[in-house]
């Protein structure tokens, strides 16, 4: 009887261990999804604040549909992520329900075995029975073993009672968790319904704008191509200025693609690398509306755009700040473009494009978070944006790997 009960409890114990380990895994996944969902919600809030707070002119269709497409994309990501959370909760609820049912079944079995053990013990509990059990021993060693058995049996019975209480407490905890999960699921379903409702409205608006856009697609495509040409022209000039600075650092004795750094500049470069993923944003408030690399245009899909950095939408009049200590390498401006500031950090260069005002000049030493200018606001669209780039010598690298997550 004792052996069978112990085996039964062993399986329950293993079952609980597996449940706890699975629970930790599920909690970890759930927390990651929740964090990602919170990030997207925060980003949508910023998009609304920074891109939809100002009234636009009717001529800004191209900009409106671009911004609306970004918001729709983020909301669709949010719906997808919320659905993942709901599916995870459904699986967890189903699993927890099965675990609760299984534990309840095991408690019933253990209780039944415990009752049988108590009844059997009661029937043979008389002092005479115990005495006869000991006196019938064939040797002193056997009598000693039987005394130990009686003690162990008493302790085992006590432990079984505690184990029943433990399992009942586990069932109560699972039940609490189940109720919490069901409430959370209802909240997520409610949130998804609300998001999908707003998505329907925004997609209708987008379709109306898209119809107007198709009528003038050729014009917008030409605008994109011209903007891309100007952007490439600025990038080529940035590369030329960096190469010029590299040649100067090498005293033009040899052709090199990297800076010949002083000990001080080497230390600065080393510290810049140590801060990868922790650099502040070049603006206090912002949302990334264009990522790094070659990509299809978000609205005119037939057009390709290449970006050596990221474009950040921010508030009107926002101050532009350096992301790290350094020296102003250059301040440049082309006809038809706004000023760009280059800051050198050893063999790393940060570029801040599309400024309306510049507070510094070439050769100035700057520190992290120092105001170097003000972001430009497009009067026709109401958008205030900055393009931020990072170069390792002349090679552009993805800034999103370097700046801190907001």
pLDDT value, residue 308: 92
- How would residue 14 be classed by pLDDT, with cut points 50, 70 and 90? low
Give CA–CA dist 67/52, Å, rounded: 8
First to last CA, the chain: 62
What pLDDT does residue 367 have? 96
**pLDDT at 359 (0 to 100):** 96
**Secondary structure class of 165 (helix, strand, coil):** helix
Q: Which residues contact 196 (CB under 8 A, 6 or more apart)?
A: 79
pLDDT per residue over 61-118, tens digit each?
556 777 778 888 888 888 888 888 888 888 888 887 888 777 777 777 777 766 666 6
Instruction: Report the DSSP beta bridge partners of residue 373.
Output: 320, 358
Cross-strand partners of 350: 343, 390
Three-state DSSP at 359 gives: coil
Distance set, CA 316 to CA 53, 73, 360 (Å) = 11, 24, 20
pTM equals: 0.62
Residues 6+ apart with CB under 8 A from 288: 310, 311, 312, 400
The pLDDT assigned to 171 comes to: 77
- Which part of the chain is CATH 2.70.70.10? 217-401
The answer, yes or no, to whether residue 194 has pLDDT greater than 80, is yes
Instruction: Find which of 11-20, 302-311, 371-380 is predicted with most confidence, using mean pLDDT.
Output: 371-380
In three state form, how does the secondary structure of 53-108 look?
Answer: CCCCCCCCHHHHHHHHHHHHHHHHHHHHHHHHHHHHHHHHHHHHHHHHHHHHHHHH
- Confidence (pLDDT) at 303: 72
**Percent of all residues in the chain with a pLDDT value above 70, rounded to a whole number:** 72
Least confident range from 4-18, 28-42, 146-160: namely 4-18
The secondary element (H helix, E strand) that includes residue 354 is none
- Three-state SS at 342: strand
- pLDDT, mean over the chain: 79
**Predicted pLDDT of residue 126:** 47
Q: What is the dihedral of CA 350, 354, 359, 360, to 10 degrees?
A: 40
Q: Is 127's pLDDT higher than 50?
A: no
Higher pLDDT, 105 or 354: 354
Measure the CA–CA gap between 170 and 12, rounded to whole angstroms: 11
Q: What is the pLDDT of residue 36?
A: 78
What pLDDT is recorded for position 204? 83
> Band of the pLDDT at 352, cuts 50, 70, 90?
very high
Q: Average pLDDT in the 327-338 region?
A: 88
Q: Residue 62's pLDDT is what? A: 59
CA atoms lying within 13 Å on the CB side of residue 304: 5
Q: What pLDDT was estimated at residue 3?
A: 46
Structure token pair of residue 2: 């004792």
- The region of weakest confidence among 124-133, 170-179, 230-239 is 124-133
Q: For the domain 217-401, what is the CATH code?
A: 2.70.70.10
Percentage of the residues of the chain whose pLDDT score is greater than 90? 27
């Amino acid at each position: 009887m004792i052996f069978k009960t112990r085996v039964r409890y062993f399986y329950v114990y293993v079952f609980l261990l597996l449940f706890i380990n699975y629970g930790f895994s599920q909690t970890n996944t759930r927390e990651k999804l929740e964090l990602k969902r919170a990030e997207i919600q925060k980003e949508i809030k910023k998009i609304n604040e920074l891109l939809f707070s100002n009234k636009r002119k009717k001529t800004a269709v191209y900009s409106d549909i671009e911004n609306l497409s970004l918001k729709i994309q983020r909301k669709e990501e949010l719906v997808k992520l919320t659905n993942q959370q709901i599916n995870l909760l459904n699986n967890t609820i189903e699993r927890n329900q099965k675990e609760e049912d299984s534990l309840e079944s095991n408690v019933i079995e253990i209780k039944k075995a415990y009752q049988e053990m108590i009844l059997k013990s009661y029937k043979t509990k008389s002092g005479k029975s115990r005495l006869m059990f000991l006196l019938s021993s064939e040797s002193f060693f056997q009598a000693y073993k039987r005394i130990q058995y009686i003690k162990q049996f008493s302790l085992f019975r006590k432990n079984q009672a505690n184990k029943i209480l433990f399992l009942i407490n586990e069932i109560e905890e699972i039940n609490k968790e189940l109720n919490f999960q069901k409430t959370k699921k209802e909240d997520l379903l409610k949130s998804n319904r609300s998001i999908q409702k707003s998505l329907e409205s925004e997609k209708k608006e987008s379709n109306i704008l898209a119809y107007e856009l198709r009528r003038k697609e050729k014009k917008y495509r030409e605008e994109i191509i011209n903007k891309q040409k100007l952007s490439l022209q600025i990038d080529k000039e940035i590369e030329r200025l960096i190469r010029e600075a590299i040649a100067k650092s090498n005293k033009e004795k040899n052709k090199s693609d990297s800076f010949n750094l002083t000990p001080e500049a080497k230390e600065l470069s080393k510290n810049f690398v140590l801060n990868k993923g922790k650099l502040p944003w070049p603006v206090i408030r912002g949302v990334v509306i264009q990522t790094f690399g070659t990509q299809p245009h978000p609205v005119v899909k037939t057009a390709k755009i290449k970006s050596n950095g990221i474009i950040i939408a921010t508030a009107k009049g926002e101050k532009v700040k350096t992301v790290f200590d350094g020296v102003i390498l250059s301040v440049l401006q082309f006809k038809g473009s706004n000023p760009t500031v280059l800051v050198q950090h050893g063999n790393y260069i940060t570029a801040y494009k599309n400024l309306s005002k510049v507070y510094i000049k070439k050769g100035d030493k700057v520190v992290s978070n120092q105001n170097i200018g003000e972001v430009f606001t497009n009067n026709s669209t109401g958008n205030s944006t900055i393009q931020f780039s990072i170069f390792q010598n002349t090679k552009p690298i993805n800034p999103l790997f370097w700046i801190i997550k907001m």
